[in-house]
Chain A
């Protein structure tokens, strides 16, 4: 039987453990990135197969029955719809590899330009909503935990259930009715091309709030739960015994630990906000990735659809990956093996 000399090295033990952890982490990272790449690939396969299943003749669907056969044929060839799926996938990914999402066959613009024009609007909306949600949700959660069982807490629990469960586009319509139609405080429609910065900001208020409400509810509930757990810990009792001010205990010590699970949810939320943003953008007639996607769907414009879905999927997958990694960053106890 081999003697494990490692055991007899007085100070080396934790070093080797560290190296082992690092190797484990590298494996984990490699596995996750591989899965992410594969799932982007799989997702595009799903879309391309889906687009291949269009019933009937896509040229007729797109150009109408009046198009000449020659034009229809050229159009089909330009869209690449006459080629088998694997050729189209290969073409798409070899283009993507050099950073080219293709050309919009209908307008002749590059899909890159279309997506890049839309992306900042969507990101601004998603980030502003998430920021607002944290700004209100975290203090609300802390309040609920500190004043557990008070009227404020109960009221907030009721409001958060409503915010969490009612879909954001319904909340958006409610907001639109109340603030734009009934009170006439805020403008209804999206941004015009020559709008000033102030205009942009005013018109962002309603969509941002509509998207944020659900997350305010979710974050408040999460923070409240983990805050309650944190407040029951020994270090909080110790801090109290030392005579620290309650505010200091709550915000400096307990919240720091309570916010970890919330951070993970916020990360995933940014990906999911993209889905919600689609509807909100359409309701509030805003520019953005959502409206690009929707217009492409309506027009059956597959070249733009492919490109914009690809961007959404990549953002979604990357954000999820970062979130998963951040779990282990914030809580080193989380193990890296996949099962």
Chain B
């Protein structure tokens, strides 16, 4: 109950400024489309209609059709579901692993700490697109593999912040007080450390969602990510890009979908950051 009221209060604060309100509304709409894709899509996204290839918008096909005559609206609606599935799973995975490693590195000084920090440095010495490209090209591009690969490239980001937060919270008087009262390490960790490091991590998580969407889209665009016939935004963009000389609408719709989604999550994430930590309003990044 208390968690819910904190959530509601934070969301209200997020929506206080116009950009936050727009971001929140768009994010809600995107999530709605993703969840209810099967009910919203007018057609099966893979239903071919070869006679109506690259047709313009019409009463039957609101956004027209692609090079195989598939309904573009339906494909983009299902693409929303794919994008959100990937983005949210990646973020959840990276958050969990990053937090675990960050806490571990703060709690266990010495070789373990060194090793974790060097691993973080190594993984972040690639531009994340390149790391993901190489990994996906080698390991294959099923959706679970794609999620694991992108999450891996984001783990250091979460890990470093978690570590810094733990280090600063660990010596706070209230933690010391708990220790004096005889609370176990585990109890302190679960009830005091974790709740206190969560807020900045959630902000990073929301600001990383557009990055994940972009990485997934660029991999699929390059043909290294999710493969057709699965409708992913990146793949749809590639289809449209290939047929750009015949029809401009498909490539425009796909790039608009990606632009709106990344913009929405950025606006939401920044407003969330300002709501959780008002000081950061003056200090971008």
Contacting pair A53 B126 (CB below 8 A): no
What's the count of A-B pairs with C-beta under 8 Å?
142
Contacting pair B267 A161 (CB below 8 A): yes
Contacting pair B167 A39 (CB below 8 A): no
Interface residues as binary, A307-330 with B (CB distance below 8 Å gives 1, 0 otherwise): 001001100110010000000000
> A140 at interface (Cβ–Cβ under 8 A)?
no
Residues of B within 8 A of A182 (CB): 248
Give Cα distance in the complex from A174 to B131, angstroms.
26
> A38 at interface (Cβ–Cβ under 8 A)?
yes
- Provide a sorted-by-A list of 5 A–B residue pairs whose CB atoms are within 8 angstroms: A39-B121, A46-B131, A55-B139, A166-B262, A177-B248
Contacting pair A293 B133 (CB below 8 A): yes
> B203 at interface (Cβ–Cβ under 8 A)?
no
> B251 at interface (Cβ–Cβ under 8 A)?
yes
Residues of B within 8 A of A (CB): 19, 117-119, 121-131, 133-135, 137-140, 167, 210, 214, 217-218, 221-222, 224, 237, 241, 244-245, 248, 251-252, 255, 258-259, 262-263, 265-267, 270, 282-285
Give Cα distance in the complex from A165 to B266, angstroms.
6
Interface residues as binary, A47-62 with B (CB distance below 8 Å gives 1, 0 otherwise): 1001101110000000
Residue total for A at the interface (Cβ-Cβ under 8 A): 58
In the complex, chain A residues 281-339 whose Cβ is within 8 Å of any chain B Cβ: 282-283, 293-294, 297-298, 300, 305, 309, 312-313, 316-317, 320, 339
Contacting pair B130 A305 (CB below 8 A): no
Contacting pair B244 A43 (CB below 8 A): no
Residues of A within 8 A of B140 (CB): 55
Q: A39-B122, A45-B122 are in contact. Are A316 and B138 (CB under 8 A)?
A: no
Shortest Cβ-Cβ A-B pairs, 5 listed = A275-B127, A42-B122, A165-B266, A39-B121, A167-B214
Nearest chain B CB to A217's CB is how many angstroms away?
10
Listed residue (B128, B133, B217, B245) with the most chain A CB atoms within 10 angstroms of its CB: B133
Contacting pair B138 A51 (CB below 8 A): yes
Give Cα distance in the complex from A187 to B244, angstroms.
15
Residues of B within 8 A of A222 (CB): 284-285
> A271 at interface (Cβ–Cβ under 8 A)?
yes
Nearest chain A CB to B236's CB is how many angstroms away?
12
Residues of B within 8 A of A170 (CB): 214, 217, 237, 255, 258-259, 262
Nearest chain A CB to B30's CB is how many angstroms away?
14
Contacting pair A278 B130 (CB below 8 A): yes
Q: Which of A276, A297, A312 contacts B137 (CB 8 A)?
A: A297
Chain A: which residue is nearest B210 at the CB level?
A165
Residues of B within 8 A of A320 (CB): 125
Listed residue (B118, B138, B218) with the most chain A CB atoms within 10 angstroms of its CB: B138
Listed residue (B117, B128, B131, B217) with the most chain A CB atoms within 10 angstroms of its CB: B131
> A134 at interface (Cβ–Cβ under 8 A)?
no
Contacting pair B285 A177 (CB below 8 A): no
Residues of B within 8 A of A50 (CB): 134-135, 138-139
Chain A: which residue is nearest B265 at the CB level?
A165
> A124 at interface (Cβ–Cβ under 8 A)?
no
